Amino acid sequence: MGVPKLKLKISVEDYLEGEKISEIRHEYVEGEVFAMAGVRKKHNEINGNLLEQLRSHLKGSDCGTYFVDVKVQVKKLNRFYYPDLVVVCGEDTESDYVITKPTIVVEILSPSTAGTDRREKMFAYQEIDSLQEYLMIDQDTEHAELYRRRDDGLWSWITFEPGEDLELESIKFKTPLSELYN
């Protein structure tokens, strides 16, 4: 009979220090660390197209866009994730390496991450008080899903299909969904 392996948990401090020197990005979930896989070119193109449009739209505002190697902390759940793109409006000065007050979080869905993005990350991100919208964009088909915080604190779910405009109310942004796939 085999002996169960003991899973060692690491502290937030050790995780954050390790990420500064690691060649591989890792997400942190309640003391456990998970390596992140690379992305397909299509994933990168969609993220780049959205980033370019958002930066242009937000120029001169108090909002900034962050991508690739910037973590979002979900303090209430003791988690750190690397979303594909984040919009922060207002001040978020707690750390140079971590976003604690995102306004919008974007994940580009791939077959291997879609389940985690739709379940674990969606519920985790909704625990961040500053978050107004959580956008998931499918990398293989022209489709996006948006969770938007309502005035009563609950979340509404909206889908965007081919021929429709993607709209992010929190920053008054609108673009044809097809523009992200060019």
Query: d(Cα 9, Cα 11) in Å, to the nearest integer?
Result: 7
Asked if residue 22 belongs to a domain, the reply is no
* Residue closest to 168 by CA, chosen among 135, 137, 143, 142: 135
**Residue 108 φ/ψ, nearest 5 degrees:** -90, 120
- Per the CB < 8 A criterion, the answer to whether 100 and 77 are in contact is no
Query: pLDDT value at position 5?
Result: 66
Asked if residue 68 belongs to a domain, the reply is yes
Query: pLDDT value at position 119?
Result: 95
Asked if residue 8 belongs to a domain, the reply is no
* Residue closest to 108 by CA, chosen among 148, 135, 77: 135
Asked if residue 146 belongs to a domain, the reply is yes
Query: pLDDT value at position 101?
Result: 97
CATH number of the domain enclosing 66: 3.90.1570.10
Non-local CB neighbours of 7 within 8 Å, separated by 6+ positions: 32
pLDDT in tens, 17-48: 999 999 899 999 999 999 888 888 999 999 99
**Residue 29 φ/ψ, nearest 5 degrees:** -130, 100
Strands 98-99 and 144-149: what pairing? Answer: unpaired
Query: pLDDT value at position 112?
Result: 87
Strand order, beta sheet including 85-89: 63-67, 85-89, 104-109, 133-138, 144-149, 155-160
Strand order, beta sheet including 98-99: 32-35, 26-29, 79-81, 71-74, 98-99
**Residue ranges in the chain modelled with pLDDT below 70:** 1-7
Asked if residue 135 belongs to a domain, the reply is yes
Asked if residue 103 belongs to a domain, the reply is yes
- Per the CB < 8 A criterion, the answer to whether 121 and 78 are in contact is no
- Per the CB < 8 A criterion, the answer to whether 27 and 19 are in contact is no
High-pLDDT (> 70) share of the chain, %: 96
Residue-range definition of the domain harbouring residue 114: 39-181
**Mean of the per-residue pLDDT values for the chain?**
93
Q: Which helix (H) or strand (E) covers residue 99, if one does?
A: strand 98-99
Query: pLDDT value at position 157?
Result: 97
Provide the domain count of the chain.
1
Radius of gyration of the chain (CA): 17
Q: Could you identify the residue written with the tokens 């890792």?
A: 26
Asked if residue 93 belongs to a domain, the reply is yes
